[in-house]
Amino acid sequence: MAYPITLTVNGVAQPLEVDAHRSLLHALREDVGLTGTKEGCDDSECGACMVLVDGRPTNSCSSLAVQADGARITTVEGLQDGAQLSALQQAFLRHGGVQCGFCTPGMLVSATALLRSTPSPTTDEIRIALSGNLCRCTGYDGIVAAVAAVAAAGDPVAPVAPA
C-alpha cells in the first residue's frame, strides 16, 4: 500500500507516494533522483547515507520515508550553492579529505551539522561528531583538518534549506 507524503528536500517540496517500508535513502535516490546520498552498509553503521532531517544528522538507510513526511531534508546536493562548492566542500578537496569519495557525502553532512551546532569545535569534538562515518581510504586526518580549517576561518556552512 502506498502512502502520500511530502518531503521538502533541499528547499523543494517533493510530493511522493511510498510504500510503508520504503527507506528515506531509497526515496531520495530513486524517487527524488538525488544520488549523492550513498548506500553503504544499509544498517546505520557506515554513515554514507547521512542526511539532515530538520537539521539533525540521520542515517537515511534506517529511517522510513513515511516518518519524514513534512520534514525538511538536506542532502549533500543541498550543501552547495548552484555550481559553487561550500567552504567545507572546498576544504575537503584542499586538505586531502577526499579519496575514493564514497564516504564524502555523509562526512560532509555530519561535519555541516557539527559546525552549525558548534562553530569552533575542538579536534576531539570533530572526531566524535564524525565517529558515525566510516572511511576506508583517507585515515581521517585530512577530513578532520578540513573541518578544523573551516571552523578556524569562520567560514559559513551551508544554510538550512528553507521550508
CB 74 within 8 A of CB 52: yes
We report the CATH number of the domain holding residue 100 as: 1.10.150.120
- Chain centroid to Cα 127, Å, comes to 16
Q: pTM of the prediction?
A: 0.93
Which residues, at least 6 apart from 129, have a Cβ–Cβ distance to it below 8 Å?
A: 110, 111, 113, 114, 118, 121
The verdict on residue 91 lying in a domain is yes
CB 27 within 8 A of CB 39: no
Residue ranges making up the domain that contains 67: 2-78
The verdict on residue 159 lying in a domain is no
Task: Give the per-residue pLDDT at 81.
Answer: 82
Task: Give the per-residue pLDDT at 158.
Answer: 62
Coil, strand or helix: which one is 30? helix
Place of cell 583538518: 145
Q: For residues 16-23, give the mean pLDDT.
A: 98
Confidence grade of residue 163 (pLDDT, cut at 50, 70, 90): very low
Tens-place pLDDT, residues 77-127: 999 988 889 999 999 999 999 999 899 999 999 999 999 999 999 999 999
Give the percent of the chain with pLDDT over 70.
96
Tens-place pLDDT, residues 34-63: 999 999 988 888 999 999 999 999 999 999
We report the CATH number of the domain holding residue 43 as: 3.10.20.30
CA–CA gap between residue 43 and residue 5 (Å, rounded): 24
Give the percent of the chain with pLDDT over 90.
83
